Structure 1
Amino acid sequence: MQKILFTILFFIPTLIFAQSDKTFTYENKIYLPNIKTVLCYNSNKEQSLPVILLNSAETLTFGFDDLLAGTKNYWYTIEHCTADWQPSRISSIDYLESFNDDRILNYRYSSNTTRKYTHYELTLPNNQIQPKIGGNYLLKVYEDGDLKKPVISQRFYIVDSQVAVAAEVSNSMQVEDRNYKQKINFTINHSIPIANPYQDVKAVVMQNFNPNTAQINTKPSFIRPNQLVYNDLTTNDFWGENEFRKFDTRSLRYKADNVKDIFRDNESVNVMLFQDAPRNTSAFANQYDENGNYFIRNTDGRDDRTESEYTGVLFTLNAPAPSPNGEAYVLGRFNNYTLSKENKLLYDASRKQFYGNILLKQGLYDYEYVWFDKATNTIETKPFEGAFFQTENSYQIFVYYRKPGARWDTLVGYVNLSNKPSDRR
């Protein structure tokens, strides 16, 4: 057991610098192992959701680190997408009033760090890339001006605000689920003519900006003058889940929240977290979290972006495997809630423990453990985290409208709400 622990703890995930895939996928994805810590948010508030208003002063901040350091020739472009994140297949002339692509020229080298890297950053819209219609967009970053060398794909949203969305969070209407699930009811108030709401309007509801939870609404429960009501008894039910677990690596000089040990040598830094226990059988315990978010912070230096260290973070979960055919993962917004080899946990059946080491930049992190059941092809947090109606979650509602005869979906409404009234905005 000591040998296994030593191997995991002092193993920084190896970077295999292989050629990337040949094409982009329409999701948040990193295509090269040397690319880390992709950030994309509304510039008005750090780590807010990547949503901005069309024709406003709002901008998006996008950034990432290259662990190969040095300077690379990174280019980027954006593409308009449908409500379900497929290419709209319209000309760039239809959605851009500027150039099609540009090179990322804003970059800085790391300093005072054990692992060297280069931080790249850009702001959208800018003088070169200016969207002119609302909708879903995919930001594509690629090498040497060659779209066949993908580096990053990142989703973001531009709202052409034409409708208002009123929403509330309540208990599930299903009696057996009232203590475990949260239900979203919402109404779209509009003044635009909608000839066929069942065909022209789609509303996507998401929990904690986790794409794995997205539910698509195509049929309103009631149609009233200038209103579409979505409050069907069986739709938009979400497991309440639990408050996120968290850890704090803002400083590597002392052990902060949930950090058990810090190991440092000339080549790497490793952080061991306290062992986690399953919370599926315990009572709900309220604690403050960031609904899965994370923040890059470094109290030991001056610049969070370029002086923050990369550390191997050891996660340990003391729990039996929920089923014989499945896998456990550590998820959060820091990895876009994506099941990947990097955040997959190893299982020691003799000790009933899961282990994993993930390379992460210094900061504050929310995380949770999930179980991927291969038999049912489902992702669940309940086996490790439990589910409680009392859990504070944020919910995002995106409303899309396609005019009769139009060739693309326009994002015409958006709301971000919480089941805590004081947090709604």
Structure 2
Amino acid sequence: MKGVKIFFPAFITVLAMQLNVWAQSKTREAALDFKDEYYNPDYFRYDNFIYSNKIKTVQLFPANNELGAPVIHLGSSEQLHLHFDEEEHQFTQYAYTLIRCDWKWFPVDQLPMEYLNGYAEDYIYNYSFSVNTSVPYTHYELKFPTENMQLKLSGNYVLIVYEKNKENPILTRRFSICEPIADLKANIHQATIVEFMDFKQEVDFSLFLGNLNVTDPYNELKITIQQNNRTDNKVMELKPIFVKGNELVYDQERLNLFWGNNEFRDLNITNHRNYYDYTEKIYLDDSGLYHVFLKPQYSRSFLKYTSKPDINGNYVVNRENALRDKNTEADYVYVHFILKNDFPITNGQVYVFGTLSDWQAKDDFKMKYNYDKQQYECTVLLKQGYYNYMFGVLEDNKKEFDFSYFEGSHWQTNNQYQIDVYFVPNFNKTKYQLILSKTLPSN
């Protein structure tokens, strides 16, 4: 089903100036205290975030790769696909715009006309109503870049989706445009430092710049490393230990260490009537909604490592035996998570964590302690599909999750690492380029 198509006027300078002023004002807002403001839905952030409680199951991925990182190549025909649901059978005319950010995800002081060809904003036209679901919803889909809006520069971008006013978005998503000038050879292995050998993984690599002329590689090359799309433990500010012509060697032994953690726990609700090994019970409530209760889970922190396949904390929407479109036939199900623990943690909170929570400490995924049953509990409304998750502890006044408490940590764990390389010229930092984005398995 298609929405009513509304044509935009030609791109005008006034609109560009308004967008730039708006972006700068949001930068000032970003300086507000993280702890008090970040999870307030009225606080804008250049991050993956949902601002409306009606919006569910937001996904952004490359075409034909639902598990892929949202990165495409500059000047190619590649597209990113955005999917999201709104909890009602009613079409809303949503629009979107793109903001270019620097390598640290702060907005760049540029007019949209400097990084976009065509419109500065456009509408989302494609939508469909859910079919035979107990929770009615409208599914929206956007494929971009489009003929109306093309990107001219590589780098980091934030997609903003809104209804009437871009200052009040319904969602934001990060993505990147890469111009692959450089290359690298990586070696991800057991930590070299003895005290971390059993628990951590070390990411070493050599970077090859090809014909790129970099006069100050120690300051003009910015490296970021992400583990399984997480941002809370991202490694930044790495410097090469030595330079050999156009080859730079990054072998730090300490600064490039990550906790190996454990293989993810899994949840399959593609058929919400099926019982799996981890299913305790399933029932249909009086309002016609399905509830899936999982068997109580226990800490794995003292168990030996066991290899098992997973999708590195991600999820895939699916409904078993869907007739036409899984995106509109998959239903929503209440999933009840239970984590046994003899006593509550006094210096932090426990969360269900993964792509299902946007890798963030969201209230919907915060577990509450039941003193009578000596267990943590959390109930989440999820769309049918296959999910990975872990139980993470976020200690007070910290931003990085600790998974060792309930999941343990092993150097053998299969993780996925994304290495991004930015060239940021000293003379003009807005002219930066994302010259490499590479995803690598740990084993």
TM-score (norm 1): 0.91
The C-alpha deviation readout for 1:352-400, integer Å capped at 9, x for no partner, is: 3100001100000000000111165542000000000111001000001
Question: 281, 284, 309: which one pairs with 2:331?
Answer: 309
Counterpart residue number, 2:56: 36
Relative distance call for 1:32 and 1:207 in structure 2 (3 A) is same
Contact 1:250–1:362 (Cα < 8 Å) also in 2: yes
Please name the residue that 1:9 is paired with. Answer: none
Matched, 1:337 2:356: no
SS at match of 1:211: coil
Mapping of residues 192-231 of structure 1, within 5 Å: 192-231=212-251
| 229-238 or 239-248: bigger deviation | 229-238
2:186 match: 167
Q: Identity of counterpart residues, as a percentage?
A: 32
Compute the displacement of 1:349 (Å). Answer: 3.1
Name the CA shift for 1:372/1:404 in 2 (closer, same or farther; >3 Å).
closer
Mapping 1:4-83, distance limit 5 Å: 21=41, 24-83=44-103
CA-to-aligned-CA distance 1:241-269 (integer Å, 9 cap, x gap): 00000011101232235322221144311
Match of residue 413 from structure 1: 436
- The residue correspondences of 1:20-419 to structure 2 (distance < 5 A) are 21=41, 24-144=44-164, 146-190=165-209, 191-256=211-276, 258-265=278-285, 266-302=287-323, 303-321=325-343, 323-374=345-396, 378-406=400-428, 407-419=430-442
Preserved CA contact (<8 Å) 1:310 1:361: yes
Structure-2-length-normalised TM-score: 0.87
The answer as to whether partners of 1:100 and 1:129 remain within 8 angstroms in 2 is yes
Distance 1:257 1:298, change over 3 A: farther
Query: What's the secondary structure of 2:195's corresponding residue?
Result: helix
Asked if 2 retains the 8 angstrom alpha-carbon contact of 1:23 and 1:147, the reply is no
Deviation at 1:186, TM superposition (A): 1.1
Task: Please tell me the residue identity of whatever aligns with 2:318.
Answer: R
- Name the aligned partner's letter for residue 212 of structure 1: D
Q: What is the aligned length? A: 400
> What is the distance in 2 between the residues matched to 1:22 and 1:380?
28
Deviations 1:387-425 (A, max 9, x none): 0011100100000112343324311101111122xxxxx
Deviation per residue, 1:73-108 (Å, 9 max, x gap): 211011111111100121111110111000111000
SS of the counterpart of 1:130? Answer: strand
Distance 1:418 1:214 in 2: 16
Secondary structure of 2:349's counterpart equals strand
Give the letter for the 2:192 counterpart.
M
Where does the alignment leave 5 or more consecutive residues of structure 2 unmatched? 1-39
Could you list the structure 1 runs, at least 4 aligned residues long, displaced by more than 4 angstroms after superposition: 20-23, 375-378
What is the RMSD of the two structures over their aligned residues, measured on CA atoms? 1.5
Over 3 Å counting, the alpha-carbon distance change for 1:334 and 1:102 in structure 2 is: same
Structure 1 residues 404 and 373: CA distance shift in structure 2, 3 A: closer
